[in-house]
Structure 1
Amino acid sequence: MFKLGWVVPEVKESINSFVKYGQKLTHVSPTWLRFDSNADLHLTVTEEEMHRFLEIAKEKKVKVVPLVVNERFDEGVAGSILGNKKMQEKAAEQLVKFAEKYQVDGVNLDFEGVFGLWRYEYTEFVGKVSEELHRLGKEVSVDVVCQTAPPKSIDDLKENMSGNFEEIKKMLSWADSYDYEGLGKLVDQFILMGYDYHAMGSEPGPVGPLWWIRDVLDYTLKIVDKNKVVLGLPFYGRGWTSIDKMRVEDWEPRNPMSREPMKTAFEAGFELGKAYDYREIKEKSRYFIKSGINPEENSPWGVWELEDGKMTIVYYDDLESLKKKISLVREYELLGIAFWRLGHEDERIWDVL
């Protein structure tokens, strides 16, 4: 089974997790590379750090496919590259040179943001990168924000809004940036980011609820070859702290089957959410005054009170919830699994991988 883990080099716990458990993976994707608006490729680590990591991966017999992002997930950066064929070629050429120079096994493309206006140009760019790297015998994977329905038609948006790009962008979501069918034909691995259903700016709720992941897979497998699909799962949890004093009795988990629009964090009375790793959550669990798990979501949650009368609600994944989500790989006959990110996890998960 294909098993990929993302590693953030500047986070000690992430590196330590790879050193300890990396041999359980087939692929590792260190977050090394970013493009700026001039299509210049930048390293986020020193060459010495990179070579040291490559040696560790070689010892563990794990393929290295560095993550490649548009700087700050900025739509303007994505658009400046994707909207110009020469810039696309420049960016693709730099990735090829990097892969040849450092003898990595491929790249993991992770352009994100509201760049749906260049949806098909992104497919074109991924095609250029794939063609060149495949010629060298290297792999290309792409990370996509999850869809459960076709993305909005760009042509329809342009027609209905008289081509006003600023207004069009307001109508697009991050998920609208991807041409599933086109991308799926070009890459070796099509990685679904099965997390951030409830994101930093949303009301409290599970990061990757089971029912939603099933909806995503049911939709995706109508379009993309299951032998290329990789299910990305979160090792992290997310917690939201109330803006003002709040009693635990005044909060109830959102009905997962609710037809009501999801509220923002502020509308629900909470600050922006923050990521928690499992060790932090395990420590906080001693102070849970209310906890539970909805079987349709399959994500545990807990609540603790703060001294100032506020409260924090955290949703997370532990060994049992992750095992159930990982079982979807066999149920749907997918290529494999990926985890964002190493260092956040319940370490018991490595015993079942």
Structure 2
Amino acid sequence: MPVSVLQEHIDPTLFWDAAEQILTVTTADQVVRLASDELTAFINAEPVSLEVPIRIVGDLPYAPLSFLARLYGLDWTFDQTAAVVAVLDKDLAHRESLLERSTSLRAGPSLRQVRFTSLKQGERVIIYGEEGGWLKVQSTGGLVGYIPRSATGPISTVLPDQTVPKSYPRWQPKQGAINLTWEYVHSRTPSFAEIGPLPGVNVIAPTWFNLSSPEGDLASRADAAFVKAAHAEGIAVWALVTNDFDPDLTRAVLSSSNKREKVIRQLLTYAHLLELDGLNIDFENVYLADSHLLVQFLRELTPLAHAEGLTVSVDITVPSTSPNWSLVYDRPAIAEIVDYVALMAYDEHWAASPVAGSVASLPWTEAGILATLESVPAKKLLLGLPFYTRLWEEHTLPGGGAKVTSTAYSMSRARVFLEQNSLEPTFDPSSGQNYVSLSLPGITLRLWLEDHASLQARLGLVKKYQLAGVASWQRGYAEPWVWELLAENLGTRQ
């Protein structure tokens, strides 16, 4: 059957790679690959034999219906005389009956209508409706038309197969909400002795993996000792995987079925060797035209990761009009596929912003949560918390106006800045945060604080919208008091 017909009527997520001539089928627990003219398919990387391979007829790929029917739980018949394929979804309830006498199948509910074919006594028909003593039916050969109601026996309703499909139980912490913090790793992963206590943290996500070549190679900074130490503290490890913010590299890898598979195999191998608990996918600055490729990568990764006991999470931005940074995320599809979605609710005013402002004002953050909840369920959503701010410098220009620059400040660096300059914060109602400014000759310094009040307000939004938890960027920017406040509000204190 043509792949395009299967996509239209059976499964719109069927993915045909025309360049490599590979069909990929993804379900909740399986990834199936079929290559053109090959009599071996692969289900979760295990080979299975095919009676008929994928064929290319003209420019159209045709897939083996007998194999896919078993995969999807379908019944199908082929009427060679009428050249009709009939497919019945066994997961749908339907009405049917056996013919008590032979009759004609007609184009409409009348003896004057064109006769399609003869139906024999004892033949089963599926019933779609009734009109003036006539039934609209489908024959076993797949033809749809009308027969007299008097030709059929009792009508019965066939219920779908009640077999419960396999599902992966989404990981949840033993108590409270998810309290994830990212660990930024430039070259060397710090030891837990260097990090110090993290009371209440139940997930840590070190930035360990990144795409490193257009061929789908991964670079790794992973440290098995870090995982072992985290587990000793009762903390799960979800290793972060990034695309290096490179849209061309991302396209080169994700556009190839073979390269996607290569990346996934590497990730699963690392996960097994390191005894990871999950993967955190952080693909940013991706071409909008490649949105479907990112979704397909997640469709192929998630079932295989689940089979290895791994939790899959994805980082997304606050909804905006930016093609590469926001519109590229098919949020409904992503939320359906993965276990958790981390909303990076920061960089409202980014490093090169032409205007000084908060990293994440409270009204902007709440609006971002509400917009995201339109497509991501609260039970899967983690609110991103910034543990950093920006010191803005507004330089007065000779002709008027100002040149704006910024420097990222951790919580402790911001506190020291206030102490050194004897500054007392005031509340800024527009941002919902504490704020300071300092005027010097030719320059004005501005700082919106990420402090106790700001963090408490963000945690209030987590409670208000009953989110799954938080994800904080990043551990190294936080002051020690932060962890106690998070543990108290998220119910993760042990």
TM-score where L is the length of structure 2: 0.58
Distance 2:304 2:347 in 1: 32
Contact 1:181 1:224 in 2 (8 A): yes
Larger displacement relative to structure 2 (283-292 or 101-110): 283-292
1:54 aligns with 2:54: no
CA change 1:126–1:18 in 2 (3 A) is farther
Looking at structure 2, the residues matched to 19 and 289 of structure 1 have their Cα atoms a distance apart, in angstroms, of 30
Displacement of 1:23 after TM fit?
3.9
- 1:222 equivalenced with 2:374 (yes/no): yes
Structure 1 segment 314-333 matched on structure 2, within 5 A: 314-333=447-466
- 1:347/1:245 Cα in 2 relative to 1: closer, same or farther (>3 Å)? farther
Cα deviations across residues 301-323 of structure 1 (Å, max 9, x unaligned)? 222356x7433222231011101
Question: What's the CA shift string for 1:90-113, capped at 9, x where partnerless?
Answer: 111211111112110011000011
Counterpart AA for 2:249: V
**1:1-353 matched pairs, under 5 angstroms:** 1-10=177-186, 19-36=195-212, 37-44=214-221, 50-71=223-244, 73-147=245-319, 172-202=323-353, 203-244=355-396, 269-271=403-405, 273-286=406-419, 287=421, 291-305=425-439, 309-352=442-485, 353=487
The whole-number CA distance in structure 2 between the counterparts of 1:185 and 1:134 is: 14
One-letter amino acid of the counterpart of residue 443, structure 2: K
Supply the distance in 1 between the matched residues of 2:335 and 2:311 (Cα, whole angstroms): 14
With over 3 angstroms needed to count, the CA separation of the structure-2 counterparts of 1:54 and 1:289, relative to structure 1, is: closer
**Cα distance, 1:288 vs. partner?**
5.6
State which structure, 1 or 2, has the greater radius of gyration over its C-alpha atoms. 2
**Alignment deviations for residues 214-269 of structure 1 (CA, whole Å, 9 cap, x no partner):** 111112112112110110110011122234479xxx9xxxxxxxxxxxxxxxx852
User: 8 Å contact 2:192–2:230 — kept in the other structure?
Assistant: no
Do the aligned partners of 1:7 and 1:18 also contact (CA within 8 Å) in 2?
no
Asked whether the equivalents of residues 8 and 14 of structure 1 are also in contact (C-alpha less than 8 Å), the reply is: no
- With over 3 angstroms needed to count, the CA separation of the structure-2 counterparts of 1:62 and 1:293, relative to structure 1, is same
Specify the SS of the correspondent of 2:319.
coil
Give the direction of change, closer, same or farther, for the CA distance of 1:12–1:318 in structure 2 (3 Å limit). Answer: farther
AA partner of residue 128 (structure 1): E
What is the rounded CA distance, in whole Å, between the counterparts of 2:319 and 2:272 in structure 1?
34
C-alpha spacing 1:14/1:236, structure 2 compared with 1 (3 Å): farther
Contact 2:240/2:280 (<8 A) preserved: yes
Compute the displacement of 1:347 (Å): 2.6
- The structure with the greater share of residues assigned to strand is 2
Distance in structure 2 (CA, Å) of the matches to 1:17 and 1:332: 36
Separation in 2, partners of 1:17, 1:269 = 43
- Structure 2 unmatched runs, 5+: 1-176, 488-494
CA contact (8 A) 1:17 1:343 kept: no
Q: CA 1:227–1:221 in 2, change beyond 3 Å: closer, same or farther?
A: same
Size of the aligned set, in residue pairs, is 306
Q: Alpha carbons of 1:219 and 1:291: their partners in 2 closer, same or farther (altered >3 Å)?
A: same
**Residue 15 of structure 1: CA displacement?**
6.2
How far the C-alpha of 1:119 sits from its partner, in A, is 0.8
Q: Which structure dedicates a bigger proportion of its chain to helix?
A: 1
Query: Structure 2 vs 1, CA of residues 210 and 80 (structure 1 numbering), >3 Å: closer, same or farther?
Result: same
Larger mean CA deviation between 194-203 and 308-317 belongs to 308-317
Instruction: Give RMSD over aligned pairs.
Output: 2.5
**CA deviation map 1:179-198 (0-9, x unaligned):** 10000011111110010011
Deviation at 1:289, TM superposition (A): 5.6
Amino acid at match of 1:104: L
Residue in 1 aligned with 2:10? none
Percent identity reads 26
Contact 1:14 1:344 in 2 (8 A): no
Deviates more, 1:310-319 or 1:231-240: 310-319
The answer for the alignment partner of 1:257 in structure 2 is none
Moved more, 111-120 or 191-200: 111-120
Distance 2:484 2:423 in 1: 30
| CA apart distance, 1:13 | 11
Matches of 1:31 and 1:333, distance apart in 2 = 27
Give the secondary-structure state (helix, strand or coil) at the position aligned to 1:293.
Answer: strand
Distance 1:57 1:7 in 2: 12
Distance 2:356 2:279 in 1: 34
TM-score, scaled relative to structure 1: 0.80
Q: How far apart, in 1, do the equivalents of 2:181 and 2:444 lie? A: 33
SS at 1:343 equivalent: helix
Contact 2:418–2:424 at 8 Å: present in 1 too?
no
Displacement, 1:12?
9.2
